[in-house]
Structure 1
């Protein structure tokens, strides 16, 4: 890299960071893309990985491979942890907990959001979110292990708890998970067990609003609710999940009333998001205003007030009620690259204008919602539209081909080809089910050993 060229540091390899780096691939700048996972993940399909339809490789791709043809782009593995605004340096942490320093002339903050537990971080132990590949694989482990454990138990409350799945949050991710779990139980697993009937599995969906998918048109939201109920999902609206523990959850009605407890050994959390710690640190160091979720107030060109060298894109933008969707991040990444090109050419930057290309949500085989301007589709047509949109944005030609082939196979046969899960090492704190994590050895097992 040349020492006299503009140094662009992009934090985050999601849609925003990737589109920005690719757009600057042949510009007269040196780009460094820092990401804590070193791969681009197609987040809208994480739930398909979690429920065994798609593999990790079908929804992700190495950033090095993705950007290999752009010789002015360097990709690095690390997590941004601190900012020196005066020196224009970012401190990053390696996986082994050592740190290194990256200098920049322009900083593009595309770090995205993480799952929010609204001040109850202890919930995360029993209720994983859905933001990363690790989350998806953890959820896969919990879902399939629940059926396996239930198979070993006699009929009764304990088995029922393992066959009950609770989801907090009625947005797209919560709805997609609920539909997929019921589809797993009624199709893919229906004839594979001897002691249990997977079709008896209960899926409980909890949300504080009055309807699921509140961001969609009321008619589509109502159709989604009917489809979910037809699948066998129990909808509980107007409530908050106020406690999560090993054996279940506590739910509190928003309008007042008695708490309700549900026995559920598998709880999934999709109820909220918040800025990653580095984004909050950037706002603090730069004296920028941020909202309760950590979104940063920016100028019309997406730069931080008083700091034109810092551009915020994607979910972290606290302006104009921009949606936290992939399309917003993509457009933001292209806009940030455009601002940098205009700066190099001595031209004024343009204001960012988001173009809403619609929303989509998958519920189950043959059922999805698609809303694009005046066009509102549900059922099979919505499902086809949803498929074309997601395939179009998958990175890498191989990803598209293999994904299409997998979907066609799952449509023709009730199969989920990527169901493998691992219980992990007893020494790992990230594995919910290990041979040593279940407490003391039971009396029955002691007798067997003696």
Structure 2
């Protein structure tokens, strides 16, 4: 009977992949379980949704990452239950796995704040499938508008509503504005770019909450210069098939995109641990859970407060640093009493707004415009896994920058109604 320790990692996102990389070619058996077979670079999903990049540019098979690591196994499956007492877990297909160490990096899903029926009319951007659905809706809407001669009747099809003023919402609004105001319009003859309307709807008083107010204001001004109407202090009260309702009125459109908040995976509840209001598990300073030093929760699924009392944000750099930290603990079999508390090194926050437009806050230094866009581009390309992906995305972006052309604009009817 082998005495080799077994570490299971749930989730092939930034946190899970980073933990597994620390453990590859070690003396520990590693199993990565994910319901998808690929690692996805989520920050660039909006580029797929707006036809700037193809899905293969921002995703890579998990098996390809660890193909040369003999101790790492990849299992395609969905974990539905964790038994922390017995150190076992169960998949949706009833398979069970035992573990010595467990790293839960199950990620997050969009939070519709109790209105889950809104998801069908207002999809979010958490998967390639989501991005393709949004892309298809945008393209189909343009085709519908092209067939209608009455400007009033085609107005809904040339209207876009993005709900949520965080980085994803801002990036999506800017990308759609570029499509609607410049890029694709030359291909359509029956309407003009001036008929397009883009709304970014935020329930709070500021977009990019968490960014310095000065940068958030610059982002708002840049969006409005691009033709985006930014609606602040405007909570959504109802969403139907082709309508967004607010207290102040409503907007008719089939093009509704949700980017207004996330909640932890429902799997977190099976750990039977204290959770915050979004479902994230409250973890110890070493990212383990109470009384179980060999079970760790990281990334979007973990609630860990910084020195100022605020929880760490659900960002890729946070998940990656947590993954490396936990991986080293497991690799070295570090006892809980000897573990140094996890400390996040904040390398800055940034968001892109459009072509050569972005905002960045790096160690107190604030950038906007072209310089911030260059920083954003370099950092995001650097985080892409695989040399081929980096080169391909760089070439695609340069082509887009100089030609103003978009990439894949195919309609397959996969998501059409």
Out of 366, 369, 375, the position equivalent to 2:359 is 369
Q: Is the 8 A contact 2:121 2:242 kept in 1?
A: no
What is the CA–CA distance in structure 1 between the aligned matches of 2:411 and 2:383, rounded to whole Å? 27
What is the CA–CA distance in structure 2 between the aligned matches of 1:292 and 1:351, rounded to whole Å? 24
The aligned residue for residue 54 of structure 1 is 53
Q: CA deviation at 1:338?
A: 1.3
What is the CA–CA distance in structure 2 between the aligned matches of 1:221 and 1:344, rounded to whole Å? 42
In the superposition, the TM-score normalised over structure 2's length comes to: 0.96
The aligned residue for residue 84 of structure 1 is 83
Q: CA deviation at 1:345?
A: 8.3
The aligned residue for residue 124 of structure 1 is 119
What is the CA–CA distance in structure 1 between the aligned matches of 2:148 and 2:3, rounded to whole Å? 68
Is 1:115 equivalent to 2:110 in the alignment?
yes
Out of 232, 236, 242, the position equivalent to 1:237 is 232
Out of 256, 259, 283, the position equivalent to 1:267 is 256
Q: Is the 8 A contact 1:241 1:251 kept in 2?
A: yes
Q: CA deviation at 1:65?
A: 0.3
The structure whose Rg is larger is 1
What is the CA–CA distance in structure 2 between the aligned matches of 1:157 and 1:267, rounded to whole Å? 19
The aligned residue for residue 338 of structure 1 is 328
**Comparing 105-114 and 145-154, the one that deviates more:** 145-154
**Comparing 110-119 and 243-252, the one that deviates more:** 243-252
Q: CA deviation at 1:251?
A: 1.1
Q: CA deviation at 1:186?
A: 1.9
Is 1:292 equivalent to 2:277 in the alignment?
yes
What is the CA–CA distance in structure 2 between the aligned matches of 1:357 and 1:235, rounded to whole Å? 28
The aligned residue for residue 301 of structure 2 is 316
Out of 270, 295, 299, the position equivalent to 1:281 is 270
What is the CA–CA distance in structure 2 between the aligned matches of 1:394 and 1:293, rounded to whole Å? 28
What is the CA–CA distance in structure 2 between the aligned matches of 1:208 and 1:297, rounded to whole Å? 27
Equivalent positions of 1:387-398 (< 5 A) are 387-398=377-388
Q: CA deviation at 1:152?
A: 1.1
Is 1:222 equivalent to 2:222 in the alignment?
no
Instruction: Give 3-state SS (helix, strand or coil) of 1:234's partner.
Output: strand
What is the CA–CA distance in structure 2 between the aligned matches of 1:362 and 1:108, rounded to whole Å? 32
Q: CA deviation at 1:78?
A: 0.8
Is 1:106 equivalent to 2:101 in the alignment?
yes
What is the CA–CA distance in structure 2 between the aligned matches of 1:364 and 1:346, rounded to whole Å? 46
What is the CA–CA distance in structure 2 between the aligned matches of 1:247 and 1:300, rounded to whole Å? 46
The aligned residue for residue 302 of structure 1 is 287
Q: Is the 8 A contact 1:342 1:348 kept in 2?
A: no
What is the CA–CA distance in structure 2 between the aligned matches of 1:264 and 1:99, rounded to whole Å? 42
What is the CA–CA distance in structure 2 between the aligned matches of 1:309 and 1:275, rounded to whole Å? 21
Out of 147, 157, 162, the position equivalent to 1:167 is 162
Residue segments in structure 2 that go unaligned for 5+ positions in a row: 306-310
Give the CA RMSD over aligned residues: 1.4
What is the CA–CA distance in structure 1 between the aligned matches of 2:302 and 2:364, rounded to whole Å? 26
Is 1:358 equivalent to 2:348 in the alignment?
yes
Q: CA deviation at 1:154?
A: 2.4
What is the CA–CA distance in structure 2 between the aligned matches of 1:77 and 1:304, rounded to whole Å? 26
In the superposition, the TM-score normalised over structure 1's length comes to: 0.89
The aligned residue for residue 427 of structure 1 is none
What is the CA–CA distance in structure 2 between the aligned matches of 1:3 and 1:74, rounded to whole Å? 17
What is the CA–CA distance in structure 1 between the aligned matches of 2:262 and 2:325, rounded to whole Å? 24
**Comparing 328-337 and 313-322, the one that deviates more:** 313-322
